[in-house]
Every structure is written in structure tokens, then in C-alpha cells.
């Protein structure tokens, strides 16, 4: 295989291999982070949690779970668990109103309750048909709501009539970003590595390897008994010879046929003997 083809093929193979490894590690890391959740409040009737808001644009806030199941016994279209738990969340710092929009602004809303019902996706409130469940220490938990959407740095005080399990969403998202980035980066680079590998393989079949000189068989005449053999005069290069003639003379000295020696000399020194 041509040396250039070897380099290109090897580079492509390395990139493809690294992409596969990075993607696997990224997926495993995200999966482990999703299962290994850190609860800032675990099985207590409330407590104080810190909001860090490193970028000063407001945080995603906190997700709150309680022990129970999603049931609608009275058939009013709302999960019954929302009627049996009373939760308040008061933040002592600033809050970014209209968080996540172009009209957001910081305001002091420390006297307002920052808890709101949300059992599924955004604005789901406690409506039947959606919900999020998980199991912690053998207890069946259901998501009942969130707190402190858009809160800036400060302390959030949560009080609940029932034990709660609280997740700081910003911390969980930050921990998974590394794995997501590794997986996405490897997915983007994988096609490039495949292209380089394919190009290297094609080059290996199309490029001619000129690293070795053609083998030349030199026959030496066998003298007849009693006949005196005279060695042919071979022009040897001297110190004043130009590189082309020196190369040609060296080929002749090694026993190459004159026509072949001239042809090979012209390949290295175009214009020789013209």
C-alpha cells in the first residue's frame, strides 16, 4: 500500500474508533446521571435550599416529589394527590420575571409563593393524563410540582404538610452536560472519520507504490576456454559530473542495461540526454 494511503487509512480508523468510544462513554454517563439523582431535600417536611444562579439570569428551579400514586377517584379530571398536600416555597432573593423570554426582568418578589403544581410537562398543573413517577428507597413517588422558576441567587424555604423529595434541576442538568456533549461530539465526528477511512482505502487500491526499484537481472557472459574476455569500458562519473550523469553512470556501474538506466535516469532527471 502507498505510504500516503496508509497514513490516511490509519487516521480514519483512529477517528472512527475514538468516536465509538466517546459515544459509548457519553451515553453511559448520561444514563447513570439520570438514575443517580441528588435530592437536596429527601423525605422531610421541607427545609432551606440554596439557589446559586451563576449567570445572574435566573435558574430553572426545583422539582418536588411526594409519596403517593396518580389517581382520580372523584373523577374531576385532577389528580387527587394535589388535594392532599399543601406546599409553600418562599425565596428571599430576586426573581427574574418572564424568565426565558426577551421581556425578562429582575424584581423583588420575596413575599410571593414560588411553588406551583406541575405533574407532567409545562403548564400541565394537576390535570389527569400526564405525570412523572420514580421509586426512592422502596417508596413510590409522584411529581407534584415545581418551585422557584426564574429565581436568582438566594435561599428558598420549602414547607410541606407531607414529606417531600426535592431535586435542584440546574445541578442535575449541569452534571449531564458533559456526557451529552461527548455523545454529540462523537456523533458529529463519526461521519468525517468514515469518509477519511473510505478515502484511505480507495487510495490504497489506486495509488502505485514506488518505494521499491524494479528488479533487474544482469547476465554475465561465460568465456569460452582459451578465449580472453575483455571487460566493457563503463563510463564512471567524476567529481565534475552533473547529478544526472552521475546517477546514470552509477546505474551502468551496477550492471543495468543502458536503455533501462537511461529510462530510470530520465524519471529522476527529466531532460537527461536530450
Instruction: Specify the range with the lowest mean pLDDT, choosing from 86-100, 147-161, 259-273.
Output: 259-273
User: Please, are residues 176 and 59 in contact by the beta-carbon 8 Å criterion?
Assistant: no
Any idea which of 66-70, 192-196, 239-243, 266-270 has the lowest mean pLDDT?
A: 239-243
d(CA 186, CA 21): 8
Q: Which of 107-111, 136-140, 164-168 has the lowest mean pLDDT?
A: 107-111
Q: What are phi and psi of 96, to 5 degrees?
A: -90, 100
**Collapsing DSSP states into helix, strand and coil, what is residue 151?**
strand
Rounded Cα distance, 154 and 108, in Å? 11
- pLDDT attached to residue 245: 83
Mean pLDDT of 72-90: 93
Return the number of other C-beta atoms located less than 10 Å from residue 48's C-beta.
Answer: 11
| Lowest mean pLDDT across 19-23, 143-147, 183-187, 256-260 | 183-187
192 sits in which H/E element: helix 169-206
Please state the rounded mean pLDDT for residues 102-107: 88
What backbone phi and psi angles, to 5 degrees, belong to 54?
A: -65, -30
CB 69 within 8 A of CB 149: no
* Beta-bridge mates of residue 133: 142
Q: What is the pLDDT of residue 232?
A: 45
Contacts of 91 by beta carbon, 8 Å cutoff, 6+ apart? 51, 109, 110, 114, 148, 151, 154, 155, 156, 157
Rg (CA), the chain: 40
For CA atoms 98, 46, 124, 177, give the dihedral sign.
positive
Closest listed residue to residue 82, CA positions, set 137, 139, 160, 135: 160
Closest CA to 216 of 257, 253, 245, 250: 257
Which tops the pLDDT comparison, 174 or 254? 254
Rounded Cα distance between 53 and 161, Å, is 28
More confident residue, 169 or 200: 169
Amino acid at each position: 500500500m502507498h505510504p500516503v494511503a496508509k497514513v490516511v487509512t490509519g487516521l480514519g480508523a483512529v477517528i472512527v474508533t475514538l468516536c465509538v468510544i466517546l459515544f459509548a462513554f457519553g451515553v453511559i454517563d448520561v444514563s447513570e446521571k439520570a438514575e443517580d439523582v441528588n435530592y437536596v431535600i429527601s423525605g422531610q417536611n421541607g427545609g432551606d435550599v440554596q439557589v446559586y444562579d451563576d449567570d445572574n439570569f435566573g435558574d430553572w428551579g426545583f422539582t418536588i416529589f411526594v409519596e403517593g400514586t396518580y389517581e382520580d377517584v372523584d373523577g374531576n379530571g385532577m389528580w387527587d394527590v394535589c388535594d392532599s398536600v399543601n406546599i409553600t416555597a418562599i425565596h428571599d432573593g430576586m426573581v427574574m420575571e418572564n424568565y426565558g423570554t426577551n421581556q425578562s426582568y429582575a424584581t423583588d418578589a420575596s413575599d410571593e409563593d414560588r411553588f406551583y403544581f406541575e405533574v407532567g410537562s409545562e403548564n400541565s398543573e394537576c390535570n389527569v393524563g400526564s405525570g412523572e413517577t420514580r421509586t426512592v428507597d422502596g417508596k413510590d413517588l409522584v411529581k407534584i410540582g415545581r418551585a422557584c422558576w426564574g429565581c436568582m441567587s438566594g435561599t428558598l424555604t420549602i414547607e410541606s404538610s407531607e414529606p417531600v423529595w426535592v431535586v435542584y434541576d440546574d445541578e442535575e442538568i449541569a452534571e449531564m452536560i458533559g456526557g451529552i456533549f461527548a455523545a454529540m461530539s462523537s456523533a458529529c465526528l463519526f461521519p468525517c472519520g468514515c469518509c477519511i477511512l473510505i478515502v484511505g482505502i480507495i487510495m490504497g487500491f489506486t495509488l502505485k507504490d514506488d518505494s521499491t526499484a524494479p528488479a533487474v537481472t544482469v547476465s554475465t557472459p561465460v568465456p569460452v576456454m582459451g578465449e580472453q574476455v575483455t571487460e566493457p569500458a563503463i563510463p564512471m562519473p567524476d567529481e565534475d559530473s552533473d547529478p544526472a550523469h552521475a546517477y546514470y553512470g552509477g546505474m551502468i556501474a551496477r550492471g543495468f542495461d543502458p536503455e533501462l538506466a537511461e529510462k530510470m535516469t530520465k524519471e529522476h532527471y527529466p531532460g537527461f540526454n536530450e
